[in-house]
Amino acid sequence: MQSNPKTFMAAQICHKGGKLEMKEVEWREPKRGEIIVKVMACGVSHSDSITQDQLLDGIKYPRTPGHEFVGQVCAMGEGEMKCKMGDMVGGSWHGGHCLTCEPCRAGDYACCTGQQYNGVTRDGGMAEYVCMRADACIMCPKGMDPAEMTALMFRGATIFNSLNSMCVKAGELVAVHGAGGLGKLACDMSRCMGFRTVLIGEGDKLQREMNLSRESFIDCTKMDVAKELMSMGGAKVILCCIAESKRLPSFVGGLCPNGQLCLTNISGEPYCEIPMIPLIMRRLAVCGQPAPTPLEVEQCLHFCKMTDMHVKVNKMALKDCNKAWECAMNPDEMKKPVLMMA
Ligand SMILES: [Zn+2]
Ligand SMILES: [Zn+2]
């Protein structure tokens, strides 16, 4: 058994708005309820900018970002029951829940009011090692590629979870408002789950990447989305996967009765104006979807394994973290940037 080091390398944000800096940090033994993961891969995501820009309470610097990581358990706190040494585990946005707030008491850990976020309110996976809460760890299915798993465990799992919890049946129409690799993943998942799927794209970049036919694509910069959707009978769900709130109101008229507009991405604009007439007359609903719990991430990973779903990744070294960060901030990027340790 290899022994654990006294110090290790981590990419850290050292002040608000700062870039990543490579730092040597001290090893800390895990407390009860914590495990240490020797990181193999860590995805870089647009949402890492939440840590950089201090967009949530409880972000202190220096902070190691990274809320999409996979690795092996190499140390455990006393009395650990969930994990064993050497287990392949992952960490997503959900970094642990309090078990005492009202949502926790109702078993709704995704809405815990005292929850921690990996890479945001506690150090995340852009490092050789990460100390995480065992209750937040994702037990990885065997035989999946670590880098690809990181690309599925946050936004991918949120999309999977959204489609799973909306009132939509196989064969009904789902419209995905998306771009880049994530938009493609959302369309692939929606199809695999049995929904008739149409992409609402910003321009035709993703249509060309995915080689989509005219019937499964609407360009929201040129076409009347509501009219196009109604010509297909209306969408049961419009799944919004990109940070945008300006065009959304004009999509609502494309929902069929009892349709749902599902928001999964916090945009720069905190408000979105929704037209009331279709909302009332067609019994429509506007829903949000918080980050998935560890169990929900596992279900998503098993789904992707079972359906042989793959995502394109761009593997980079930890020291190239700022380059990876730049790629992650481009919504049209088709390949998910993933940092590979050693
Ligand atoms: Zn709680
Ligand atoms: Zn749009």
Q: Where are the domains of the chain?
A: 7-154+292-340, 156-288
pLDDT of 2 reads 65
Cα of 220 vs centre of ligand 2, distance in Å, is: 6
For residue 38, is pLDDT > 80?
yes
With beta carbons less than 8 A apart as the criterion, state whether 41 and 339 touch.
Answer: yes
Which ranges constitute the DSSP H helices of the chain?
49-52, 102-105, 146-152, 155-165, 180-192, 205-210, 225-231, 248-251, 276-281, 294-306, 321-328
Q: Closest-lying ligand to the alpha carbon of 103?
A: 1
The secondary structure of residue 18, as a DSSP letter, is: P
pLDDT of 287 reads 94
Cα of 307 vs centre of ligand 2, distance in Å, is: 29
pLDDT of 213 reads 86
pLDDT of 103 reads 97
Q: Closest-lying ligand to the alpha carbon of 101?
A: 1
pLDDT in tens, 235-285: 999 999 987 778 899 999 999 999 999 998 876 677 888 999 999 999 999
pLDDT of 271 reads 83
Cα of 124 vs centre of ligand 1, distance in Å, is: 20
Q: What is the DSSP string of 60-86?
A: -SSB---SSEEEEEEEE-TT--S--TT
Residues 106-119 have a mean pLDDT of: 96
Task: Please name which of 133, 12, 40 lies closest in space to residue 83, comparing C-alpha atoms.
Answer: 133
Query: Cα–Cα distance between 285 and 237 in angstroms, integer?
Result: 10
Cα of 292 vs centre of ligand 1, distance in Å, is: 14
Q: Which fold has domain 156-288?
A: Rossmann fold (3.40.50)
Residues 168-175 have a mean pLDDT of: 98
For residue 181, is pLDDT > 70?
yes
Q: Closest-lying ligand to the alpha carbon of 108?
A: 1
Cα of 97 vs centre of ligand 1, distance in Å, is: 5
pLDDT of 161 reads 95
pLDDT in tens, 217-235: 999 999 999 999 999 999 9
Half-sphere exposure of residue 106, counting CA atoms within 13 Å on the CB side?
Answer: 7
pLDDT of 205 reads 86
pLDDT of 184 reads 95
With beta carbons less than 8 A apart as the criterion, state whether 174 and 235 touch.
Answer: yes
Classified as helix, coil or strand, 8 is strand
Cα of 98 vs centre of ligand 2, distance in Å, is: 37
So what's the ipTM on this one?
Answer: 0.66
Q: Taking CA 284 as the corner, what is the angle to CA 300 and CA 255, rounded to the nearest 5 degrees?
A: 75
Query: Cα–Cα distance between 179 and 173 in angstroms, integer?
Result: 19
Residues 125-138 have a mean pLDDT of: 98
For residue 1, is pLDDT > 60?
no
Q: Classify domain 7-154+292-340 at the CATH superfamily level.
A: Medium-chain alcohol dehydrogenases, catalytic domain (3.90.180.10)
pLDDT of 114 reads 94
Cα of 40 vs centre of ligand 2, distance in Å, is: 35
pLDDT of 265 reads 82
Q: Closest-lying ligand to the alpha carbon of 250?
A: 2
Q: Closest-lying ligand to the alpha carbon of 241?
A: 2
Half-sphere exposure of residue 155, counting CA atoms within 13 Å on the CB side?
Answer: 29
Inter-CA distances, 320 with 21, 22, 64, 317, Å: 10, 10, 15, 5
pLDDT of 302 reads 98
CB atoms within 10 A of CB 302: 13
Query: Cα–Cα distance between 45 and 337 in angstroms, integer?
Result: 8
